[in-house]
Amino acid sequence: MKDFAGKTAFITGGASGIGLGMARAFADAGMNVALADIESGPLAKAKADIEGPGVDCLTFNLDVSDRGAVKQAAAETVAAFGKVHLLCNNAGVGGVNRPLDEADDSDWDWVVGVNLMGAINGLQAFLPLLKTHGEGGHIINTSSVSGLRVFEGRGQGIYATTKYALVGMSEALEQDLKPHGIGVSVLCPGFVKTALPDAARNRPDRFGGPAAIERSADSSLSAGAAAGMEPDDFGKMILAAIEKDEFYILTDSRERELIQARADRLMAAIDRAQERNF
């Protein structure tokens, strides 16, 4: 996607952090922006921040794990702006940070419901709308560097399960959408300075409620986020990466060693398969 002015972006988790950084970058490029988020206060602030001459901002206070609400928002976005060109499946939660043998059912339901099913709901609602106008477009799925390696000792099991799934979904999507002129990128950032370590603030009651979850025992997560990349810088970087049709978007070259170690382990398994003559 090369031309942004006058086109429309829909961003989940757009009220804060990375989603808001993207929204600002897209609005600066002249796009109309629709934001969906579970937090109403920050959502209203984001709208006031983004709206300006030639840039409209529509907001939806919803839970991305609610498929009907996402479909309704898609219909209302098209009714308001006519077309949607850029979909950002970005809403996500972490903060469970428990070893998998200590995770309970509601931990799984919440994180899978938001991070994975939320993105699937976004695709199901918006893909037909992106294909129908024939002007092409782009889809961004926010995974994480935790979708490419698992950092030992951080209790990342559930989070990584969802983020690996988003990488697989994006790789398939890139192939499937090529004939339609719709590009795909998967964001795999390291630390970004956001409120993600406090994601439990948004845990809906049906998944156990905000009070039912302990804060991360690993303070390096909060420290990492506090020292991370600025969301607005990330937003600008994403805009430039969309223009160049980059697929994997990473932010932290210090991850090279861990990702390489995982790739080496896989290649060693290929070597063993070869020795077995398969």
Ligand X SMILES: NC(=O)c1ccc[n+]([C@@H]2O[C@H](COP(=O)([O-])OP(=O)(O)OC[C@H]3O[C@@H](n4cnc5c(N)ncnc54)[C@H](O)[C@@H]3O)[C@@H](O)[C@H]2O)c1
Indicate the SS3 state at residue 159.
helix
CA distances from 21 to 4, 45, 272, 276 (A): 16, 13, 45, 50
Residues 85 and 135 sit within 8 Å (Cβ to Cβ):
yes
> In which element (H, E) is residue 131 found?
helix 118-132
* CB of 92 closer than 8 Å to CB of 142: yes
Our CB check for ligand X shows the closer of 93 and 127 to be 93
Q: Binding to ligand X by residue 199, rule CB under 6 A?
A: yes
- Shortest approach of ligand X to residue 20 CB, angstroms? 7
**Which of 191, 200, 216, 238 is in the footprint of ligand X by CB under 6 A?**
191
Written as one letter, the residue type at 152 is E
Q: Does residue number 23 form part of the binding site for ligand X (CB under 6 A)?
A: no
DSSP string, 40-57: HHHHHHHHHHH-BTTB-E
Shortest distance, CB of residue 66 to ligand X, whole angstroms? 8
Find the helix or strand (DSSP H, E) in which 186 lies.
Answer: strand 182-188
Question: Can you tell me which of 150, 195, 241, 258 binds ligand X, judged by CB under 6 A?
Answer: 195
Catalytic residue among 81, 159, 191, 207: 159
- Judge whether 164 counts as a catalytic residue: no
Q: Tokens standing for 28? A: 């600066």
Check residue 91 for interaction with ligand X (CB under 6 A).
yes
Return the number of the residue (131 or 151) whose C-beta is nearest ligand X. Answer: 151
Rounded to a whole number of angstroms, the minimum distance from the CB of residue 146 to ligand X is: 7
In the complex, minimum distance from the CB of residue 17 to ligand X, in angstroms, rounded to a whole number? 2
Residue 182 touches ligand X, criterion: CB under 6 A: no
Neighbours of 117 (CB within 10 A): 18
Site residues, ligand X (CB under 6 A):
12-13, 15-19, 37-39, 42, 63-65, 90-94, 114, 142, 144, 189, 191-192, 194-196, 199, 202, 225, 228
Q: So which residues are the catalytic ones?
A: 159
